[in-house]
Chain A
Amino acid sequence: MLKELLEKQNAGTLKAKDRYEIPAQDMPAQDGTERRENMNEVALGYTETQARLEAMRCLQCRNAPCMEGCPVRIRIREFVTAIANGSFEEALAIIKENSLLPAVCGRVCPQEVQCQETCTVGKKFKDPEKSVSIGRLERYVADRFGKQGETPKVAPPTGKKVAIIGSGPGGIVVAADVRRAGHDVTVFEAFHKPGGVMIYGIPEFRLPKSIVQEEIDVLEKMGVKITCNFIVGRTRTIEQLMTEDGFDAVYVGVGAGLPKFMNIDGEQLVGVYSANEYLTRANLMKAYQFGKGSDTPIAVSKNVAVLGGGNVAMDAARMAVRLGAENVYLVYRRSEKEMPARIEEVHHAKEEGVQFRTLQNPQRILGDEKGNVVGAECLKYELGEPDDSGRRRPVPIKGSEFVIDVDTVIVAIGNGANPLIQQTTPGLEFNKWGNIVVDEKCKTSLQGVYAGGDIVLGAATVILAMGQGRIAAAAINQYLKD
């Protein structure tokens, strides 16, 4: 089929109608039952033929609405066209103009509410899942050609020092862009391993850690210093870094690291985790290898309730499956349509046997006399009028209480802002939710201090953190030039 289509394309006779007829290419994936038993990546990636076929579904719209949907405005039409033509390296170069982490973003961006939401093909089929699979194409070229790239060139030393606080996607991007301008860059990370949420939160089966590690390796090759086990605010304050340690500018990218709890009875019982704790134990501390190289214990669960409907909830539920739970319930108070998780993760979770319990919400967690979780008492909900977020508000149904038998409850209802920087940085302006206030250049209320990512936006996305990182880096480079 590819050959035929290519001939037509080269002859200029491939019409929109023909393109619509090319079947959307499915992503090859590990078998649903098999992968319950391993931590390996689930989505396996397109073959070359699949990638080119998928790219040929693109209509090359004149106004390229996909680009409008992209938070960092990648020239999507151009890179997709390059893939259709077989110019993969060119495609990657186009992506890299705007995004430094294509292998990551191709995997974790919520494309169906970004570029693939506005894509003309999806609109025609009235289904963003039928859009051109822009994310999968991005991943394809990044996986295939991303590793051969040379280490980016670094300008001659400027004598200026920049501190990056936090090594998440935002921090990584700022470090790269600022280092390229020739500044002396140090990344400070509280954990013993760099990478932020991409390392401690998002599991291996969705984002292999080696991909993140490669990005860190590139930074080190560029001469960026990475200091782990360094908690800014405690080990040194921002003020000390700037006045005593000689840093001329600082980027704060500390993420949204404060787990929210439901504040219901029973949340202190043994067997109740925040998703952050559960996933950190499992990912960063490798609890899944307990007794085989790791000493990190984690609950041995039979029946698990995960509370929430976002990516974090899906990750926790799918991790619980892999850690051997027999029944994993995903309890969410709205309906599936309102779930903020990526569609692909919802599909994958279902394929792996996660049981969706939508329009339900726990009102207390039940324990035995030893303080262990034995169940969750839930209420049924129905959808009412739309709320501020435009989603229909869930309303509890009186008298609908029932109990699900579980021994583990994982709370995945979001993260607030960690107050450590606020407590230790006088003069830095925060809003009432504890997020740092910045202007359009990501500059804060303190001279020389910039911020971005989840600590500014509230729990958001990798691509938004990255986008702000690029803006902040440009502003820092400008500031140090003046």
Chain B
Amino acid sequence: MSFKILSKKQLSENVFQMDVMAPLVARSRKAGQFVIVSVDQDAGERIPLTIAAADAENGSIRLIFQRVGKATTQMADLAEGESLGYVAGPLGQPTHIKKFGTVVCVGGGIGNAPLLPIATALKEAGNTIISIIGARTKELLILEDEFRAISDELIVVSDDGSCGRKALVTEPLKEICSRDPKPDCAIAIGPAVMMKFCCDTTKEFNVPTQVSLNTIMVDGTGMCGGCRVEVGGQTKFVCVDGPEFDGHQVNFDQMMRRMSAYKELEQKALEQYQKHQCKIGLDQTA
């Protein structure tokens, strides 16, 4: 099976969107599920990525990812027409979609990508959607038009005020929660700290909040326990019990510590790869 890249688009400095052939996944995936991909068939890192959209008819899925470590850098270096090593999935529990009433969807940075299919499905189920999407700065904001198309109200924020309001996502979130009537529920997807503070905010107002966790994973099928987090005092495996959980129950501090376990080693792999790539460049010019 070949997991061919049908199209590739750079959404911001470090964020890429790819449509990849994966007919079996495209056929059975549901909103909220993810895949594990690798650029190499054999020894590559296994990268968990949310399925941002899928086209069952032509058999493709859309992946949006941020270039951070070696594996994602390598993936970003692939061109249209080339193939991924493999795509396995769909994994995880689908989002529970139903009519809640008014739903606040909060996305930060790359988190907008997994949030979009969920927000879209919620809209289709008849909910009123208020979206708050944010980024550090204008260049990093992704999917603004897509969110505008499905939201009843859209609030854009940036850390530096280069687009939308100069604020953290929690500011408008707090205002919306203070409205009367308050929203029926919230969904927050983004960096772990952002989700943590969103949950702190909504908790004050008793607005139930779902989060989608992106822990370190190995197999993605419940076999290794590397993705475990504490939810409501119990150990849960993100890949099989999640990736979505009741945000008010998640032990974020612990999760953030576990997520940074390999920072140094990952940095090392990235540097090696970049050095190697430079050398290839030199060979070609010489």
Q: Is A277 within 8 A of B86, CB to CB?
A: no
The answer to whether A295 and B223 touch (CB under 8 A), given A192-B88, A234-B28, A371-B257, is no
B159 contacts A by Cβ under 8 Å = no
Look across to chain B and name the residue whose beta carbon is closest to the beta carbon of A423: B240
- Among B149-157, B165-173, B203-211, B263-271, the one that faces the other chain is B263-271
A12 to chain B, nearest CB (A): 56
Q: A231-B91, A290-B269, A297-B266 are in contact. Are A192 and B222 (CB under 8 A)?
A: no
Considering only residues 243-285 of chain B, those with a C-beta below 8 Å from chain A are 251, 254, 257-258, 260-262, 265-266, 268-269, 272
**Does the CB pair B218–A277 fall under 8 Å?**
yes
Known: A192-B88, A370-B257. A290 touches B224 (CB 8 A): no
Q: CB within 8 A of A228: which of B86, B223, B258? A: B86
Inter-chain CA distance A47–B254, complex, in Å, is 54
Name the A residues within 8 Å of B260 (CB-CB).
Answer: 270
Chain B residues packing against A (C-beta within 8 Å): 1, 24-25, 28, 38, 41-46, 69-71, 85-91, 218-219, 221-226, 228-230, 235, 240, 251, 254, 257-258, 260-262, 265-266, 268-269, 272
Q: How far is the CA of A276 from the CA of B218 in the complex (A)?
A: 10
State which of A228, A267, A276 has its C-beta within 8 Å of the C-beta of B235: A267
Interface residues in A211-239 by Cβ distance below 8 A to B read 227-231, 234-236
Taking CB atoms, residues of chain A closer than 8 Å to B90 are: 234-235
Chain B contacts for A227, CB-based, 8 A: 1
Contact check, B41 vs A192: say whether CB atoms are below 8 A apart: yes
Tell me whether A191 and B269 are in contact in the complex, defined as CB-CB below 8 angstroms, given that A231-B88, A236-B28 are known contacts: no
Residues of A within 8 A of B (CB): 190-193, 227-231, 234-236, 257-259, 261, 263, 267-271, 273-274, 276-277, 280-281, 285-286, 289-291, 293-297, 299-300, 370-371, 418-420
Please determine whether B240 and A419 come into contact, CB atoms closer than 8 angstroms.
yes
Q: How far is the CB of B286 from chain A (nearest CB, A)?
A: 25
B235, B258, B265: which contacts A261 (Cβ < 8 A)?
Answer: B235
B228 (CB) vs chain A CBs: closest residue: A268
- The reply to whether A281 and B24 form a contact with Cβ atoms under 8 Å apart is no
Residue from A190, A228, A229, A289 whose CB has the most chain B CB atoms within 10 Å: A229
User: For residue B255, which residue of chain A has the nearest CB?
Assistant: A268
- Chain A residues whose C-beta falls within 8 Å of the C-beta of B44 in the assembled complex: 295
Give the distance in Å from the alpha carbon of A297 to the alpha carbon of B86 in the complex. 20
Cross-chain contact of B265 among A229, A231, A269, A290 (Cβ < 8 A) = A290
Complex: A382 Cα to B97 Cα, angstroms? 54
B223 and A234 contacting across the interface, CB-CB below 8 Å: no
A-B complex: 5 closest residue pairs judged by Cβ atoms: A371-B257, A297-B265, A277-B224, A229-B88, A257-B223
Q: Is the CB of A276 within 8 A of B86?
A: no
Q: 15 pairs across A/B with beta carbons < 8 Å?
A: A193-B42, A229-B1, A231-B221, A234-B28, A257-B222, A257-B223, A261-B225, A273-B225, A274-B226, A280-B223, A290-B269, A296-B43, A297-B269, A300-B265, A419-B222
Nearest Cβ on chain B to A186's Cβ, whole angstroms: 13
- Inter-chain CA distance A290–B270, complex, in Å, is 12
Residues B38 and A280 in contact, CB atoms below 8 Å apart: no
The residue of chain B having its C-beta at the shortest distance from the C-beta of A270 within the complex is B261
A371 in contact with B258 given A229-B88, A277-B218, A290-B269 (CB within 8 Å):
yes
A313 CB, nearest partner CB in chain B, Å: 16
CB atoms of B25 and A190 under 8 A apart: no
Contact B223 A418 (CB under 8 A): yes
Nearest CB of A to B34, in Å: 11
Bound Cα distance A192, B86 (Å) = 8
Contact A281 B218 (CB under 8 A): yes
Report the bound CA distance from A118 to B52 in whole Å.
Answer: 59
A293–B42 Cα distance when bound, in Å, is: 10
Alpha-carbon separation in the docked complex, A295 to B45 (Å): 6
For the complex, what is the distance from the CA of A268 to the CA of B235, rounded to whole Å? Answer: 9
Q: Measured between C-beta atoms, what is the minimum distance from A267 to chain B in Å?
A: 7
Alpha-carbon distance between A234 and B265 when the two chains are bound, in angstroms: 32
Residues of A within 8 A of B45 (CB): 285, 295-296
- A294 partner, pick from B43, B226, B229, beta carbons under 8 A: B43
Q: Could you tell me the distance in whole angstroms from the C-beta of A301 to the nearest C-beta in chain B? A: 12
Beyond the given A268-B258, A273-B225, A280-B223, please list 4 additional residue pairs across the A-B interface where CB-CB is below 8 A: A259-B224, A268-B251, A295-B45, A297-B265
On chain B, the residues within 8 Å of A293 by CB distance are 43
Least Cβ–Cβ distance between A72 and chain B, in angstroms? 27
CB atoms of A235 and B24 under 8 A apart:
yes
Given A268-B235, A268-B258, A280 contacting B43 (CB threshold 8 A):
no
A191 to chain B, nearest CB (A): 7
Return chain A residues, CB-CB under 8 Å to B38. 192
